[in-house]
Amino acid sequence: MHILAFGEVMLRFTVADKMMLEQCDNLHITTVGTGVNLLSSLAHFGYDTSILTVLPDNPIGKKAAADLRKLGICDNKIIYQGKSMGSFFVELGQGARPERVTYQDRLSSSFSQMSVEDYSFEKSLAGVDIVHICGIALSLTKQTRLAALKLAKMAHEMKKIVCFDFNYRMSLNENNTHEAMKARYQEILPYVDTIFGSKRDLTDLLDYQETDEKKLYQQFCQDYQISFFAGSRRTFVDDKKYFEGFLFHHDKIYESSPKELNILDRIGSGDAFASGVITGLLEKWDFVDTLEFAIANSVLAQASMNDSPIFEKQDIFNYLDNKGTNDLIR
Amino acid sequence: MHILAFGEVMLRFTVADKMMLEQCDNLHITTVGTGVNLLSSLAHFGYDTSILTVLPDNPIGKKAAADLRKLGICDNKIIYQGKSMGSFFVELGQGARPERVTYQDRLSSSFSQMSVEDYSFEKSLAGVDIVHICGIALSLTKQTRLAALKLAKMAHEMKKIVCFDFNYRMSLNENNTHEAMKARYQEILPYVDTIFGSKRDLTDLLDYQETDEKKLYQQFCQDYQISFFAGSRRTFVDDKKYFEGFLFHHDKIYESSPKELNILDRIGSGDAFASGVITGLLEKWDFVDTLEFAIANSVLAQASMNDSPIFEKQDIFNYLDNKGTNDLIR
Amino acid sequence: MHILAFGEVMLRFTVADKMMLEQCDNLHITTVGTGVNLLSSLAHFGYDTSILTVLPDNPIGKKAAADLRKLGICDNKIIYQGKSMGSFFVELGQGARPERVTYQDRLSSSFSQMSVEDYSFEKSLAGVDIVHICGIALSLTKQTRLAALKLAKMAHEMKKIVCFDFNYRMSLNENNTHEAMKARYQEILPYVDTIFGSKRDLTDLLDYQETDEKKLYQQFCQDYQISFFAGSRRTFVDDKKYFEGFLFHHDKIYESSPKELNILDRIGSGDAFASGVITGLLEKWDFVDTLEFAIANSVLAQASMNDSPIFEKQDIFNYLDNKGTNDLIR
Amino acid sequence: MHILAFGEVMLRFTVADKMMLEQCDNLHITTVGTGVNLLSSLAHFGYDTSILTVLPDNPIGKKAAADLRKLGICDNKIIYQGKSMGSFFVELGQGARPERVTYQDRLSSSFSQMSVEDYSFEKSLAGVDIVHICGIALSLTKQTRLAALKLAKMAHEMKKIVCFDFNYRMSLNENNTHEAMKARYQEILPYVDTIFGSKRDLTDLLDYQETDEKKLYQQFCQDYQISFFAGSRRTFVDDKKYFEGFLFHHDKIYESSPKELNILDRIGSGDAFASGVITGLLEKWDFVDTLEFAIANSVLAQASMNDSPIFEKQDIFNYLDNKGTNDLIR
Amino acid sequence: MHILAFGEVMLRFTVADKMMLEQCDNLHITTVGTGVNLLSSLAHFGYDTSILTVLPDNPIGKKAAADLRKLGICDNKIIYQGKSMGSFFVELGQGARPERVTYQDRLSSSFSQMSVEDYSFEKSLAGVDIVHICGIALSLTKQTRLAALKLAKMAHEMKKIVCFDFNYRMSLNENNTHEAMKARYQEILPYVDTIFGSKRDLTDLLDYQETDEKKLYQQFCQDYQISFFAGSRRTFVDDKKYFEGFLFHHDKIYESSPKELNILDRIGSGDAFASGVITGLLEKWDFVDTLEFAIANSVLAQASMNDSPIFEKQDIFNYLDNKGTNDLIR
Amino acid sequence: MHILAFGEVMLRFTVADKMMLEQCDNLHITTVGTGVNLLSSLAHFGYDTSILTVLPDNPIGKKAAADLRKLGICDNKIIYQGKSMGSFFVELGQGARPERVTYQDRLSSSFSQMSVEDYSFEKSLAGVDIVHICGIALSLTKQTRLAALKLAKMAHEMKKIVCFDFNYRMSLNENNTHEAMKARYQEILPYVDTIFGSKRDLTDLLDYQETDEKKLYQQFCQDYQISFFAGSRRTFVDDKKYFEGFLFHHDKIYESSPKELNILDRIGSGDAFASGVITGLLEKWDFVDTLEFAIANSVLAQASMNDSPIFEKQDIFNYLDNKGTNDLIR
């Protein structure tokens, strides 16, 4: 089973020692992105993975590719062109002090500037079973938008399973408007089988009016012939934080139990959930088991440094078996 | 609005990685002090600030001045003389293991050894609206005591607002006695407008007998013509730690709600509170809003590394708006 | 009072910054082991300590000896021979993500390969009052097993107090069988006065059938003429973790109150408890006071980095006096 | 004497421990740029300095401003707008392995995107005696080019001394052509008094044909009414590296002696030289003494980490007095 | 062109900051070995590479595999079994203080304990063009020796090019004798095409008596039908260190010019040379050009941290074009 | 053979990564001092050593004692009193940029404030064969001066060998005058057997007029009945630095050959030389061999981090055997 992800790869600069950027000159660099995080987790669950992206043709791009290989992601579909990568700074949080993310420019990156004509999608799709497309491509540049659409369409026609993550960030390009964004999502959705998103994506972005959650998903999945619609959310009860997930399939909503969060580094929680869901679907697990697994993967990922989860299946099962009370493994 | 602080600047050596000093040879050095912490926070709230202190005339003093500038504090009133700075080691705590502070000698520092005659207070006060004096000067040497008194008096006569922080530490000089200390505080208080302290400062240091808190503050503020008396305290309820503040003004006590603490580094919590209160008073905010803001600033500061708060107003408002539940800012 | 410990000394490689091994190339190395941890704590309580072990005759062994001296352990009984030390990697945990320990080979170490004939036990025991033997020697190689037995017997005959820690790890040598392991423990126990272990050690390893805890300890202590049998355990109540200890002596079980855990680094919790118990027994404290002290030492140790506790008695008393609520010591 | 510099401020990411980017995830971040380096050095020589630049209005820009203040540069003329800074990675060299610099995109930065109309040059020039303009502005965007020209012209008309550094980097914008670049330099030069550049700048960029160095400089300085033309160069003799400088003034070339290099971090060597030359001219030192001082400043800077020199005059004099043989200062 | 290397993969612990092990607790871990180093360099020259080795089936082995992937080495022929890896400590040198390497046990590693029957050599050789075998396998255990021999024979029969590195280390197993070692090398040599070694390997290990270097290589290559015999050596002239290489082919010795060394980390110098030679032979370069390239690769590698070279061809050509005088690349 | 050293123990803060203090907040702390450095080296040569000093009775003093034990120095004669230690910052040098040392106050330290009456010198001298006194005690406070004198006298009377290091630093106390300093040295010298110093100590401090070096030493040794007078010096030839030593004994000057320096950290070079000389004298080596050994120890120490040498005899012999050309030890 080979999974290909399409999307932007970014450099993450984490300020050391829980300090704020203004306080500290020591950074830890990692190579991340929605596709990266998802594939890293899937690779550690035992799947073949590769990423379709554009990296700069210089030591920065080479470093990023080396990092991707280290995460278990095959780098042989990567295109080297241009000279920049998007980047962001992370200041870890503590208690009431939130983790803070500050982006540098993403529109001038090698990925954002890559012309859709320069991709060889057919070649990239050879040998691939599942394609994952990150919705951020719809918010960046015209080129990334065209590329995402073309890839989704081609993969759909080649009978690949197409997964799609809403990841709706209108502010990434100041030229984006609600109507334009909505139209782009409407254009890509017919080619998609499995979707990661939230209720708000349907109401705020796609302007659905239905307030009953189940009917809302029903209507949406029918409109675009979507097989699975899944998402995660965080809740707060008595000063404690919890994480939980749902999956809509064939007119039914499945839900995980909420699991307590003890956050070290929150970024990538949705990607960890998505890779867990994809794994459960591929392994044809019970849907609730799938959600339990996916939420557990995300809870562990949020208790770990960096975006990209590297847990193996057994790590997740251990957590589920111990209900999270185990504090030492020998 | 330009705020000048007078007081000792110290070097803080924090042991890395939450280790204890005996375990670890890696230290992180920062430049701190009551005045430094207060001004750092005020500078990040948008005020002009400068510090009046004495630093050694060598690379150590130059490093300290560079650090002060980085915090947003103007260094052009600093006097360079002598060759030492007071210093202390910090071992961060965890759970039931308390944070531990160990001081090195402070009496031989450039600040403690500076003769009162060598200051040019009049020149230092030019352009200044508010003067903050840290009470520790009353506990160090005869020279620091005389300097604090002379500055308070001159500022008062020049119609500057004078803020004063009790910061009572008798043990700093073995020659200090209760009676001598009490007399020094009684001598400086008539020149002061706004005071940071606690009930205990009034009863234990100044020997007030009144047990009703409101009457106590009333009596004290009347005795010395104090406009504002403010302080913070920590409480423990059901194994959880909270932080809260009060402000006495015109016969009335105002109080913040208690806010839960999740401590990364506790030092400087009072200074963060004081800078919040000063800000609220300058901005003429409602007194309870002022206390909420001040306590929030301190809660965030205690959830951050190092003594000197660097939060902007918006960071505090975000915290207050979210009641501390937000764990990611993009 | 001079305490000698016999056992393996290991290198511990801790992955930096709470990362997992696969994520991070920065390690922190420490020199540890049951005997090391115990003696480090006892040395910081004011006792003379020395360790009897075998270290490689190369820069690695010299480094380990330097580390032991730093912990306050006399190194003049150490034998230098061979060229390897056992080692393990530690990935610190967070919340539901457990701390993880991965061992490298321990059977080829200088300690495991040392021939029993090459020890000079009589000389090593000169001036010693108490001998502590770690049961892991019974699980490693034939040579370590014979050495532990010979030392226990000789110490017993020389009227030294012999302490023994079950520390039962059958998996350390694939040739170990339940019956062989049981026989080895049965052979050494008659020479022992004070034992650290758990109910499970008696039932699972020694095949005791008694289910009543008090009767079980009674029977065991009678069978082998054991004066003291002590142990610690962790409990979970309402998502919180607690640590507590017991001591069986003269037909009676004494128990500490449970103390809440806030774990930074869990390893060595049993050794911290054992050194606290030994201290209480040597100081002839009340048994419950002894357990309170021992559990407090372990709770602080688990809130600190590394295996080897370095708290002084006063640190423990401060914790007990404040019920763990103090969060700053100046 | 107040010196204002105009130009781009960048983030520099230095790979730790002399490793290459692909090998190491630990970075050290500093805030740099031609103007920054020059002003840092001049501030440490005792001059008032401020920078005119554009930084992003977010934690990245605030961090950069804090760093500039730390270097001794006044930040009150900085404009906060946009959300990106140019950045580059540095891999330190060793022996035959050269130091390597890799740039990320600079055209999308807050500085490059700032519209010339949004500057208030007149206000920025208030109180300024000398203006330094970095030629890189002529290579970035139309806006940076127009801003540099407008500033040069206005400063010239306001009788400020205008310094200019060729810093010719055509490759920074793919739309740059030789003819366009040449025209831009020809347009700005008439407003300039002191220039830092090389013979090659005159022949390759400005198409001068003269081969005799003295006549070349004569012709150039006459064409544009330049008072001072200075530059540095590196030479290799017997496997050793040397650094030396020249100054052309009033028909005469002055030269420093060559000084041996022992490089730790080469970047910023020209800026260190320029700040030394400016200092000598301001102090009206003998021209050869000025060059000796400037080259010494650069040699020390190249033996130090980071771009921005922080040596005081006395450090340079010590080096010159000892001919670089001193290896310990107490 | 796909190159497979067979051999031990080890963990290298480098003491930080040029300190000695006894002084410092911070280590940097890397995954190394003759095969690793060679393949890392070849992968960066553009070849497909994979390694045949045995890693422990635990987080240590997973970490090592991740590191190998990062270096560009395919990990899909790796066998996971056992639980240990060989390891060594490195203390970097400075001037007259040599770099120091201290090995931990290598005989108990997963690689050393792997039974020859458990390999699937035929499968491992599928798709492979060149096989590189490290001679250290002949010095470790009986199993590693048998595996190396079987692989060499099978590869030879399958018409693969077989490269072999003498890497003669008799001391690795105390049971090794000169005669036994000699016999093992004599047994494997008939299957080998290209050899890396030194004159001393032929005289001291294989007992050749010939003193004329050319005749010696002639005789050796004839005896075993060796196509290429190459090696490197270091020389000292006037307190400077140089590195140079030779290649013997068809009765002729080719030599590189000596290149000056400026060492940061010496380990792996022979592997960097070997990968350069293999590249030149594969590219059918002139033999002297090949040696120049190979020595340059090694000189750069010795000026870099860690064992495994990561230079691209262009980096080597830059060095050769500049004769090592370039000290900055932008 | 047991050697006791008397003198101040200091904290050294080394700025990380060859940066300057103003540039960097990461420090590495070590515990040093003339006595510490000397004993560390002698302990690593196999001698029993202990230090007589005063450390603060707090976590700082405990950390220092732990560090001393790690260096191999017995801590059981240390007195804990007061609360400060002298300290200094070190910025490492590179090429022409000298290493820079900046002291903090030393007169308020526990050692400087210790009253001579509070020492128990007789008890401290029990079991000691050799006493080393650092001359800095004569420059600090009246108490340190009296203590040094009393100890020298008592050791002399008890027939211990007394070594003394001039270490003349008049500037340490502003009350010091040339005449007072001279008188103090004249007072202690009659009790001394072996002296470390320089020609300049005799001419500048003791006002000897003799210009012939041999006659000068002859006169001095005769005046005070000194057995051995030894010293080291650094020379510069052709841009290279060398280190060499001399020993005067019985009317004859012995000299080492000069050895090239490649400095990583220069501090402690004289102490490394002194420990080498003491070793040679104790071992009754040939005087030139002794000097060669002592200079080699110092050359290696200067090529290492930190003040305190930790080389074993074999390390020195390896260096001497290889004439410093060896660059790898396995």
- Residue pLDDT, tens place only, C79-134: 999 999 999 999 999 998 999 999 998 999 999 999 999 999 999 999 999 999 99
SS3 label, residue B277: helix
Chain F residues whose CB is inside 8 A of the A15 CB are: none
Q: From the candidates C45, C47, C70, C306, which should be mutated to test the interface with F, based on the most F CB atoms within 10 A?
A: C70
Q: Looking at chain D, which residue has its C-alpha nearest residue C17?
A: D26
**Percent of chain B with pLDDT strictly greater than 70:** 100
Q: Identify the band that residue E330 occupies on the pLDDT scale cut at 50, 70 and 90.
A: confident
pLDDT of residue F188: 98
How many residue pairs from chains A and B have C-beta atoms closer than 8 A? 68
pLDDT of residue A148: 98
pLDDT of residue E133: 98
Asked if B328's CB is within 8 angstroms of A93's CB, the reply is yes
> Given a contact as 3+ CB pairs under 8 Å, which chains touch D?
A, B, C, E, F
pLDDT, one tens digit per residue, over F83-115 is 999 999 999 999 989 999 999 989 999 999 999
Q: How far, CA to CA in Å, does D275 sit from each of B298, D263, E62?
A: 43, 19, 52
DSSP code for E251: T
CB D13 within 8 A of CB A28: no
Q: What share of chain C is helix, strand, coil (3-state, %, to 5)?
A: 40, 25, 35
pLDDT, one tens digit per residue, over E171-211 is 899 999 999 999 999 999 999 999 999 999 999 999 999 99
Closest alpha carbon to A252 in A295, A283, A286: A286
Q: Identify the band that residue C306 occupies on the pLDDT scale cut at 50, 70 and 90.
A: very high
Asked if D66's CB is within 8 angstroms of B67's CB, the reply is no
DSSP code for B294: H
What average pLDDT does the segment D48-72 reach? 98
**Percent of chain E with pLDDT strictly greater than 90:** 94
In this structure, the strands spanning B26-32 and B10-15 are: antiparallel
Question: Which candidate from B260, B263, B264 shows the least CB-CB separation from A239?
Answer: B260
Determine the Cα angle at B204 with ends B258 and B114, to 5°. 95
Q: Is residue F123 over pLDDT 80?
A: yes
- For residues C171 and D73, the model is more confident at D73
What average pLDDT does the segment E303-330 reach? 93
Asked if B26's CB is within 8 angstroms of F28's CB, the reply is yes
CATH says A2-322 is which class?
alpha beta
- Average per-residue pLDDT for chain E: 96
pLDDT, one tens digit per residue, over E8-26 is 999 999 999 999 999 999 9
Tokens of F21: 């203090």
Q: Is C29 on the interface with E (CB under 8 A)?
A: yes
Q: Is D279 on the interface with A (CB under 8 A)?
A: no
Asked if E22's CB is within 8 angstroms of C66's CB, the reply is yes
Q: How far, CA to CA in Å, does C121 sit from each of C55, C79, D297?
A: 16, 12, 66
**Percent of chain A with pLDDT strictly greater than 90:** 94
Angle between helix axes A142-157 and A178-188 (nearest 10 degrees) is: 20
DSSP code for E73: -
CB C136 within 8 A of CB C145: no
The C-alpha of C267 sits at a distance from chain A's nearest C-alpha, in angstroms, of: 8
Chain D residues whose CB is inside 8 A of the C25 CB are: 24-25
Q: Is A17 on the interface with F (CB under 8 A)?
A: no
ipTM of predicted complex: 0.96
Q: Is residue E262 over pLDDT 80?
A: yes
SS3 label, residue B119: coil
Question: Which candidate from A18, A93, A239 shows the least CB-CB separation from B327?
Answer: A93
Q: Is D80 on the interface with E (CB under 8 A)?
A: no
pLDDT, one tens digit per residue, over E37-70 is 999 999 999 999 999 999 999 999 999 999 999 9
Chain F residues whose CB is inside 8 A of the D305 CB are: 17-20, 23
Question: What is the rounded CA–CA span in Å between residue D283 and residue B321?
Answer: 56
Strand partners of residue C237: C240
**Residue F325: half-sphere exposure toward Cβ, Cα within 13 Å:** 12
SS3 label, residue D211: coil
Closest alpha carbon to E53 in E12, E112, E93, E108: E112
Question: What is the rounded CA–CA span in Å between residue F202 and residue B105?
Answer: 36
pLDDT, one tens digit per residue, over F197-250 is 999 999 999 999 999 999 999 999 999 999 999 999 999 988 889 999 999 999
For E169, other C-beta atoms within 10 Å of its C-beta total: 17
Q: Identify the band that residue E147 occupies on the pLDDT scale cut at 50, 70 and 90.
A: very high
Question: Which candidate from E67, E69, E71 shows the least CB-CB separation from A72?
Answer: E69
pLDDT of residue B239: 80
**Max CA separation in chain A (angstroms):** 55
DSSP characters over F163-205:
EEE----GGGSTT--HHHHHHHHHHHGGG-SEEE--HHIIIII
Q: Is D267 on the interface with E (CB under 8 A)?
A: yes
Tokens of D165: 């550094």
pLDDT of residue C326: 85
pLDDT of residue D313: 98
In this structure, the strands spanning A48-52 and A87-91 are: unpaired
Q: Is residue F324 over pLDDT 80?
A: no
Chain D residues whose CB is inside 8 A of the C21 CB are: none
What average pLDDT does the segment C304-316 reach? 97
Burial bucket for residue E101 (CB in 10 Å: 0-12, 13-18, 19+) = middle
pLDDT of residue F239: 80
The C-alpha of E196 sits at a distance from chain A's nearest C-alpha, in angstroms, of: 29
Strand partners of residue D52: D6
pLDDT, one tens digit per residue, over A160-218 is 999 999 998 888 999 999 999 999 999 999 999 999 999 999 999 999 999 999 999 99
- Average per-residue pLDDT for chain D: 96
Q: Looking at chain A, which residue has its C-alpha nearest residue D16?
A: A26
pLDDT of residue F238: 83
For F268, other C-beta atoms within 10 Å of its C-beta total: 27
Q: Identify the band that residue F327 occupies on the pLDDT scale cut at 50, 70 and 90.
A: confident
Asked if F24's CB is within 8 angstroms of A26's CB, the reply is no
Please provide the size of chain E in residues. 330
Q: How far, CA to CA in Å, does D221 sit from each of C242, D201, D217, D225?
A: 81, 13, 6, 5
pLDDT, one tens digit per residue, over A96-117 is 899 999 999 899 999 999 999 9
> Given a contact as 3+ CB pairs under 8 Å, which chains touch F?
A, B, C, D, E
Q: Is residue E324 over pLDDT 80?
A: no
The C-alpha of C329 sits at a distance from chain B's nearest C-alpha, in angstroms, of: 5
pLDDT, one tens digit per residue, over C145-201 is 999 999 999 999 999 999 999 999 888 999 999 999 999 999 999 999 999 999 999
Question: What is the rounded CA–CA span in Å between residue D138 and residue E198?
Answer: 57
Q: Is E136 on the interface with D (CB under 8 A)?
A: no
Residue B22: φ, ψ to 5°? -70, -20
Asked if C16's CB is within 8 angstroms of B236's CB, the reply is no
Q: CA torsion sign, F281 to F285 to F287 to F291?
A: negative
Q: Identify the band that residue D277 occupies on the pLDDT scale cut at 50, 70 and 90.
A: very high
pLDDT, one tens digit per residue, over D81-104 is 999 999 999 999 999 899 999 999
**Percent of chain B with pLDDT strictly greater than 90:** 94
Question: What is the rounded CA–CA span in Å between residue E55 and residue E65?
Answer: 8
Q: Identify the band that residue E214 occupies on the pLDDT scale cut at 50, 70 and 90.
A: very high
pLDDT, one tens digit per residue, over A32-62 is 999 999 999 999 999 999 999 999 999 999 9
What average pLDDT does the segment B276-285 reach? 98
pLDDT of residue E253: 98
Closest alpha carbon to B280 in B309, B256, B304: B256
Chain A residues whose CB is inside 8 A of the C266 CB are: 327-328
pLDDT of residue C327: 86
Q: Is residue D105 over pLDDT 90?
A: no
Specify the pTM.
0.97
Asked if D303's CB is within 8 angstroms of F267's CB, the reply is no
Burial bucket for residue A320 (CB in 10 Å: 0-12, 13-18, 19+) = middle
Q: Is residue D170 over pLDDT 90?
A: no
pLDDT of residue B103: 96
Burial bucket for residue A210 (CB in 10 Å: 0-12, 13-18, 19+) = middle
What average pLDDT does the segment A58-71 reach? 98
Q: CA torsion sign, D231 to D234 to D237 to D241?
A: positive
Q: Identify the band that residue E105 occupies on the pLDDT scale cut at 50, 70 and 90.
A: confident
Question: What is the rounded CA–CA span in Å between residue E87 and residue C104?
Answer: 10
Question: What is the rounded CA–CA span in Å between residue E175 and residue E142?
Answer: 10
For F211, other C-beta atoms within 10 Å of its C-beta total: 9
